[in-house]
Amino acid sequence: MCYSFSASKDQEVCALCVAEKFFSPTRTRREGRYTFPNGYTSFWNDCISSGLRGGILIELAMRGRIYLEPPTMRKKRLLDRKVLLKSDSPTGDVLLDETLKHIKATEPTETVQTWIELLTGETWNPFKLQYQLRNVRERIAKNLVEKGILTTEKQNFLLFDMTTHPVTNTTEKQRLVKKLQDSVLERWVNDPQRMDKRTLALLVLAHSSDVLENVFSSLTDDKYDVAMNRAKDLVELDPEVEGTKHSATEMIWAVLAAFNKS
């Protein structure tokens, strides 16, 4: 979901949903950090929650529903510019449309960073708690269950049962993993402006959610090092510079800038 929510062949299954559900091994290869097995939600990784909201904003921008206000002499920086409504026509996805409704109803308008905070519920203003998107991970998982990519199971943990969503469509999982691996290996272009926009967004969001390492964990040591170094070079580019280049998707770089600042 979240990126893209429609799950068509080149746009499917959201950056962070894929990252969380598909790319998490039992233990990360380089650091030895244990995580839940495939299908469990990583509640302690707060970056994923924020990353999902960033992915929602990127998806809405790519679908032509929102955009950043044009730069002015006073507001040149990506993080100073407000998110504006371009079209309020429904997308057909509940989470996207819920976010779109919030953006339409908000006055004055807010920045990308503020919207990520509002959608995650990280605000001290009690009057703005209404903008929080609740149960996003579970709603995304249920959406993928309906698409036949995940399934639903119950696991018993002594005193309580936990709902899990293991992957059933391993072919789709491997296709997406390979697509990301190829983007920084065989198909590396060393220029984000020449990359597929959704692949670029997927890399940025997976990095921002602290799960990018898991995408490359199945590679050999040599390829792993190359992939991680190239991905690192990519996400360490200056969003302010990249966002102004011809054909750049400003929202991708604005979301990266928001995570870099947080």
Tell me the pTM. 0.83
Residue 203 has pLDDT above 60, yes or no: yes
Where is 156: in which H helix or E strand?
A: strand 153-157
Look at residue 81 and give its three-state secondary structure. coil
* pLDDT in the model for residue 73: 81
Q: Which residues of 143-163 are buried (b: 16+ CB within 10 A; e: fewer)?
A: bbeeeebbeeeeeeeeeeeee
Read off the pLDDT band of 183 (50, 70, 90).
very high
CATH topology of domain 11-21+39-260: yeast vps74-n-term truncation variant fold (1.10.3630)
Q: Give residue 48's pLDDT.
A: 84
Please state whether the peptide bond connecting residue 183 to the residue before it is cis, i.e. omega within 30 degrees of 0: no
Percent of the chain with pLDDT over 70: 82
- Please write the tens of the pLDDT for every residue from 84-95: 999 999 999 999
74 has a pLDDT exceeding 90: no
Residue-level pLDDT at 236: 96
Residue 196 has pLDDT above 90, yes or no: yes
Pairing of strands 66-68, 83-85: antiparallel
The whole-number pLDDT of residue 17 equals: 43
Q: Pick the closest to residue 218 from 17, 67, 26 (CA basis).
A: 26
Question: pLDDT value at position 46?
Answer: 64
Q: Is 206 helix (H, G, I), strand (E, B) or coil?
A: helix
Strand blocks (E) in the chain: 66-68, 83-85, 153-157, 160-164
Average pLDDT, stretch 175-197?
95
What is the structure's pLDDT at 9? 37
- For residue 104 the two structure tokens come to 């339409």
When pLDDT is averaged across residues 177-193 and rounded to a whole number, the result is: 95
For residue 199, the Cα-to-chain-centroid distance in whole angstroms is 11
Please provide residue 150's backbone torsions phi and psi, each rounded to the nearest 5 degrees: -120, 170
The residues spanned by each domain of the chain are: 11-21+39-260
Least confident of 117-121, 136-140, 161-165, 211-215: 161-165
